[in-house]
Amino acid sequence: MERSAHDALLGTAAEQQHDGELIYTSATRLAQAIRAGAVSATDVVEAHLRRIETVNPALNAVVHLAAERARAEARAADAALAHGEAIGPLHGVPITVKDALDLEGTPSTFGLAARAGTLATGDDIYVARLRAAGAIVLGKTNVAQLLLYLETDNPLYGRTNNPWNLARSPGGSSGGEAAIIAAGGSPLGLGTDLGGSLRVPATFCGIVSFKPTAGRTPDAGRYSIPIGQRAIVSQVGVLAREVADVALGLKLISGGQEPQREPPIPLGDPDGVELSQLRVAYCVDDGTFAPAPAVARAVTEAARILEGHGAHVTAWTPPDVGHAVDLFYGLLSADGGTGLVRALRGSKRDPRIADIVSVAGSPVKVAVLRRLLGALGQHRLAALLRNYGHTDTAHYWELVEAQLAYQRRFREALDRDPGGPFDIILCPGCALPAFVHGATKDLALAGGYTALYNVLGYPAGIVPFTRVRDGEQVGRQPAKDKAEQAAYQTERGSVGLPVGVQVVARPWQEHVALAVMGAIEGAARARDDYPGRPPL
């Protein structure tokens, strides 16, 4: 019996070492290893399922585990490879997908209890494209209710925690996806982005993500902002731990190098981008919310890296980002919250959404609350509310016209400002490191750093860069304004948390942004403060 127990312990240790080698291997290298016969799809899937079993009790990131189906698909993938059958670029590679994207036979709840028993009858087109490439879906990950705020928490599944610090949020609404990828439970996943829902979770969790140009991968989900609102269209995008994996995933969900369906503009090749020929605008503070010290440092140091590659780098401030933020909130609330009320029927409301719905369609309530907040010194929240209380079609049309005018103004600034015409914008992915739980109630988006590029429709990605250092955990003073108070509390105790950099390109120039992200990643990985693996 003693020998048997000893052998079992040795087996467990060997299994853990083997799993450790697999769970932090990139999706691209896993595919290569499976194709070469160095490891089986079954081994890879089992290693990731064990990792999910280990970390998910603490994270609550995976809310629907399709373990038996994944095992069956892994066995089929191994058999196909043994028989010499054609394989795709992700053959046998496990992935996860955001709850809001359909996976046949599983619910897409959007954090709504009323949808928990509704099973998808087919796969979302982007899920189907990854599965056609050989990917094996392990499960679905948690979201913010109705995908509406930068924390992943809802009355149905509860709160998801950040693997770098369980007292912090992984961001939202794709926070469950970012958390499980960062923790080694999945090498690659799909999420959506209407105002930062891919990019904020990536910077909070220390991984890579990418939101494509508006119209390349439009999200058809019907239980968030009503899809009839077409001024700002949610896009499906990719999360992973390495830029190369995100580039591959983006190529696959876009329909390949020469897509047969819309969009008609194919993806370019990042390898063909000459960095020394690029003009880069870098913005540390866009004027909407002061960045934390580590966030400002990350952007400045990333700009110097690109300068070292020969790029022409210029400090720059985008035009009137506050106006773009007003457009963002105004366009998405133009129905007075009617769509949200309809989606919430039969489900308990998250308090953050309940607050919005209670005033969104009432100009009288909005006016009274704005005056009250102003009197109490809550100027940020009062300013935010000026975008609510409208329900007429004429107002929506005026906002769309204002959006088109702003897009033209922004494009002209890129073309004509000193140092331009700019190919790339380098800026924060969020003004702060990972929020403490509950902070979005007062912080909302913490500025316009991500929402700006949804209003514009530009492609944008996050590359992990650094961690908060000693001496960088407080960049502001205590204040009366609740948003500033929440920011102060978020900065305190943030040492060690990851910080990413946002890379933005012009429309349909995803390959240029990916090339820049790859260069920043290559330099950042050599640094002592590169995020790497979380402590979980």
SS3 labels along 426-460: EEECCCCCCCECCCHHHHCCCCCCCHHHHHHCCCE
**Of residues 26, 108, 174, 197, which has the active-site annotation?**
197
**Opening angle at CA 123, ends 202 and 76, nearest 5:** 95
Residue 391's Cβ-count burial label (10 Å; 0-12, 13-18, 19+) is middle
d(CA 389, CA 367) in angstroms, rounded, equals 8
Rg (Cα) of the chain, in Å, rounded? 22
Q: Under a CB-based contact definition with an 8 Å cutoff, are residues 239 and 198 in contact?
A: yes
The C-alpha atoms of residue 461 and residue 270 are separated, in whole angstroms, by 14
Please count the residues of the chain.
536
**Active-site pick, 173, 174, 224, 234:** 173
Of 26, 98, 108, 211, which residue is the catalytic one? Answer: 98
The verdict on whether 211 is a catalytic residue reads no
Distance CA 68, CA 83 (A): 23
Q: Is 488 exposed, middle or buried (0-12, 13-18, 19+ CB in 10 A)?
A: middle
* SS3 state of residue 493: coil
Query: Which burial class, exposed, middle or buried, applies to 268 when counting CB atoms under 10 A from its CB (0-12, 13-18, 19+)?
Result: middle
173 is catalytic: yes
Q: Which residues are catalytic?
A: 98, 173, 197
